[in-house]
Structure 1
Amino acid sequence: MVLLVQRLSKVYFKLENHLHHHRHEPEALQASLQDFESHISICLTQLSKPGSEFLSLSWILQCFEILPSVNKAFAKLVVDIDYPMCKWEENSVEEYLEFSLTLLELLNSISSSVSHLGHARLCLSHAVDLVESSPSSAIERLKAVQVKGSSSIKDGFRKTQNKEDGDERLNFSSKEKILHLALLEVKRVGLWICGVILAGLSGDSKPYLETIKELGGLSGSTLSGLDSSFCEAIKQGVVLKEVRELNDSAACFAAAIEAGNSSHGVEELKRKLQAFEKLIDSLTKEVDLLFSMLLAGRNELLNGIRKVLN
């Protein structure tokens, strides 16, 4: 959804006066959908390259980089089929706005988890600073980074449940049908990414499992292959690579202090703390940026709708 609301709001105001020379027969519409799905597949492939470390902060940052590209592809599809938001069925508009609100709430949860990891890093850094003045205090504070743990995120999903093709959607126009299928995939990708990010940051698979349940599974989705790989990665537990390495380094340093060799391992721990800090800072900026852009775009779109209604 990032950048998407802003892009669609521009489409909403400008596209009606823009001349398109595309054909919109069923075959052409289907081709546009296939192009969209192909782009999504390419984006997701970036997350499953050989050697990808699924449970790592660096991989989580890659997940955030995928979202703008996915949403840009959706905005392009809307333009390609000449179907601006002002022409959407009421249910689609509502579905879109509910989804954007869901992402805002999930980003809040992600931000809280990132802040917790940042605080844990500060505690370890403080312990290193105490080594010379109070070795015993340093040892006491050189404890493993404790992830926040997860709480239920079901309430944050709102009306994001997927509706199967059929029933009332059989009466939708061809463009509305294409829109529905594309929006469904954007929702799947956005919610799945938030679910795996929250799982990694909290050290608990619960957010991810709740996401899969709310989505009704991923059968037939471009996410299915990536999801299978992620499932395999968390079978042994959900611990971020950087957290695990930081904890190992802190434990070794604490043992060295107890043995009377406070210089052993300190530089290694400092390097890991610095690297961890950079990743946390990058992730914090990414979350804040996405939240701000999504909120601003959503408000802009809502204001545009109010102007049309008035």
Structure 2
Amino acid sequence: MGEINIRMSRSQDPHPPRSFFPFGNPFRMKSPKGSCLSPQLLAVLQAFEATLGERLKKLMPKSRDEILCFSWMTLAVKSLCETHNDILTLITDLELPVGEWDDKWIDVYLDVSGKLLDICNAFSSELSRLSQGNLPLKCALHNLESASSKQYIRACSLLDEWKQLVNSRNPRIEKCSSILDNLVGSLDLPKVKNSAKGKVLMQALYGVKVETVFVCSVFTAAFSGSSKKLLELNVADIHLWAPAFKSLQNVVNEEIRVRFSRGKFTVLNELEAVDTFVKELYPAIRGGVETTEMELPVKKTVEELGAAAEKLSQGIDLLVKGVDGFFQAVLTSRHALLTPVRFDKPVNDRPGRNVTQQVA
């Protein structure tokens, strides 16, 4: 009971990836064996899961056009921040100090949170790369303010530079897929010790993991330009948040696959809008024909390109702040959870087990 099957759209490695939380199957708490949950613990868990369910519902786009616009992506990463912060609150409510955790829990927490920080860095790298593309785009628009043939030729060159940049691939994003594979390992491992509080924590952490892997999978697919990077997570119905998650995953993943099947080079709405106007404008100014005044249709396209470029720039800036916020949330949780360990337990007694250095 409670077994979770996770299937992915890409092939598995010959060796199964390390589990996200190898503390046992959190759904064994529903089994008659082991500790029973008190009404108080059950209320804590249900409150956490209900909040997560409502949070996932808020990510459901009102229309497919909202999927993978930068505002939706910013909302998604903000949701992750809130969910990760909720875990700290949950641990406080459970009165389950980290000092009482098994050493392997600490080891795995360091490993997992470290991988999330790597993913954040990769996303920040990609957003920085896209932001750099704004410079040739803005310069091209500036050159198009003139009716000079030479300026038109220069604008074409700058638009070529922009197209080459946005069509290139970031190797750091490509590595995110293998990181995600390591975060979706099987949960069907030895159960946790006979601790009702531990089982509540594990089930809550599973919800955090599912939302995190889903959002990071969507971002990775969007930034990599391939639907093969998408993950499909099958979640047991015993969770209060399961229906909201399944609906969200189905809608978002399906739309991403449809867009890529149409041959689009990107599924990012604002980036696609800029690319559309660039493709429309480029033939009209290529060759640098001398004119005394820009023709009205071309002038309109230039104005639309300028508006689209500004919207793209603003969207990137918002998402940069969102990803940075998620990075800080993960870093804060590492520090908050591991600081008591540094003082309560000798954690540096084995090679590679320096928590102080890892937190830094």
TM-score for the superposition, normalised by structure 2: 0.69
Could you say which residue in structure 1 is the equivalent of 2:44? Answer: 32
Q: Say whether residues 1:282 and 2:318 are aligned partners.
A: yes
Could you say which residue in structure 2 is the equivalent of 1:42? Answer: 54
Larger relative contact order (C-alpha < 8 A, sep ≥ 6)?
A: 2
Q: 1:187 aligns with which of 209, 213, 228?
A: 209
Q: Secondary structure at the match of 1:254?
A: helix
Separation in 2 of the partners of 1:159 and 1:179? 21
Distance 1:103 1:113, change over 3 A: same
Q: Tell me by how many angstroms 1:105 deviates.
A: 0.5
Q: Tell me by how many angstroms 1:76 deviates.
A: 2.5
Tell me if structure 1 keeps the 8 A contact 2:137–2:159. yes
Distance 1:44 1:285, change over 3 A: same
Q: Say whether residues 1:148 and 2:186 are aligned partners.
A: no
User: What per-residue deviation string (whole Å, max 9, x for no partner) do you get for residues 133-166 of structure 1?
Assistant: 521221233244426365142443486344435x
Tell me if structure 2 keeps the 8 A contact 1:124–1:142. yes
Separation in 2 of the partners of 1:296 and 1:171? 27
Q: Which blocks of at least 5 consecutive residues in structure 1 are unaligned?
A: 1-23
Q: Tell me by how many angstroms 1:101 deviates.
A: 0.9
Separation in 2 of the partners of 1:227 and 1:178? 25
Could you say which residue in structure 2 is the equivalent of 1:18? Answer: none
Distance 1:127 1:292, change over 3 A: same
Between structures 1 and 2, the one with greater helix share: 1
Could you say which residue in structure 2 is the equivalent of 1:95? Answer: 108
Q: Tell me by how many angstroms 1:217 deviates.
A: 4.1
Distance 1:293 1:175, change over 3 A: closer
Could you say which residue in structure 2 is the equivalent of 1:15? Answer: none
Tell me if structure 1 keeps the 8 A contact 2:99–2:340. no
Separation in 2 of the partners of 1:111 and 1:235? 24
Q: Tell me by how many angstroms 1:300 deviates.
A: 5.4
Could you say which residue in structure 2 is the equivalent of 1:305? Answer: 341
Q: Tell me by how many angstroms 1:35 deviates.
A: 1.3
Q: Say whether residues 1:225 and 2:261 are aligned partners.
A: no
Q: Tell me by how many angstroms 1:276 deviates.
A: 1.1
Which 4+ residue blocks in structure 1 deviate beyond 4 angstroms?
none
Tell me if structure 1 keeps the 8 A contact 2:140–2:154. yes
Q: Which blocks of at least 5 consecutive residues in structure 2 are unaligned?
A: 1-35, 261-265, 347-360
Distance 1:293 1:170, change over 3 A: closer
Distance 1:119 1:304, change over 3 A: same
Separation in 1 of the partners of 2:253 and 2:338? 38
CA root-mean-square deviation: 2.7
- The residue identity in structure 1 corresponding to 2:152 is P
- The residue identity in structure 2 corresponding to 1:198 is T
Could you say which residue in structure 1 is the equivalent of 2:25? Answer: none
Distance 1:154 1:268, change over 3 A: closer
Could you say which residue in structure 2 is the equivalent of 1:11? Answer: none
Tell me if structure 1 keeps the 8 A contact 2:274–2:308. yes
Tell me if structure 2 keeps the 8 A contact 1:78–1:84. yes
Could you say which residue in structure 2 is the equivalent of 1:17? Answer: none
Q: Choose 1 or 2 for highest CA Rg.
A: 2
Structure 1 window deviating more from structure 2 (26-35 vs 106-115): it is 26-35
Q: Tell me by how many angstroms 1:286 deviates.
A: 2.3
User: What per-residue deviation string (whole Å, max 9, x for no partner) do you get for residues 266-297 of structure 1?
Assistant: 22211111111111112222223332453355
Q: Say whether residues 1:108 and 2:121 are aligned partners.
A: yes
Separation in 2 of the partners of 1:306 and 1:158? 30
User: What per-residue deviation string (whole Å, max 9, x for no partner) do you get for residues 196-243 of structure 1?
Assistant: 12222332224333xx4xxx6445463222111112111221511111
Q: 1:73 aligns with which of 51, 76, 86?
A: 86
Separation in 2 of the partners of 1:93 and 1:233? 38
The percentage of aligned residue pairs carrying the same residue is 26
Tell me if structure 2 keeps the 8 A contact 1:127–1:137. yes
